[in-house]
Each structure stands twice: as C-alpha cells, then as structure tokens.
Amino acid sequence: MARMTSMETLERRIEKAQEKVSRAKKQYDDAIAVLSDLLDKRDSLKRDELVKAIMKSDRTYDEVIAFLDNNVEEEKSSRRRNPNGKRGRKTKKGQSCVK
C-alpha cells in the first residue's frame, strides 16, 4: 500500500508541476507579445522621424538613397578589412594597427 500512496503523491506533484509550467509559458507568451508590440511601435516612430527628416531636407530622394548606399558600402568594406569589427589605428610609421 505504501507504494500506491507514493505513486499517487508523485502523480499529483507531476500534475502540479505541469500546471505551473503551463502558467509560466502563458506569462512568457504574453510578455513576448507585449515586447513585440512595443518594438513595432518604436520602429514605427523611428520611420516617421526619418521620413520627416528627409522631407525637411533639401536633398533629393536620389541623393538620400545614394548617401545611404554609400555608407552601407563603406561599412561593408571596413568590415572586410577588420572582420573583428575593431577600428585600426595608425602607428608612428603610418601602418595600421588593430588591437
């Protein structure tokens, strides 16, 4: 009989643990939904801010795109030269030194 009671106790503990995990997962899913919504709102505000800045600018659409494309290309080429992402500094003899 002791074994039966022990098995029943174990089953109840397993059931409670499963319920606890289920509640925790729901809380996690709810928190992820809130975070996702907040990130979407932040991105939307940033896009609006960017569009307003472009509209106030005296640059044309083509000039803005060319500027952005140029910065992306420069960033890519600097990463190729320094794959660890660190900037090199010049030594006394003018040679590049990456720390």
| Cβ-based neighbour number of residue 63 at 10 Å | 11
Range with the poorest average pLDDT among 8-12, 42-46, 70-74, 91-95 = 91-95
pTM over 0.95, yes/no: no
Q: Which tokens sit at 25?
A: 């997962």
**Which residue type is seen at 32?**
I
Look at residue 51 and tell me whether its pLDDT is greater than 80: yes
Contacts 24+ apart (CB under 8 A), 34-42: none
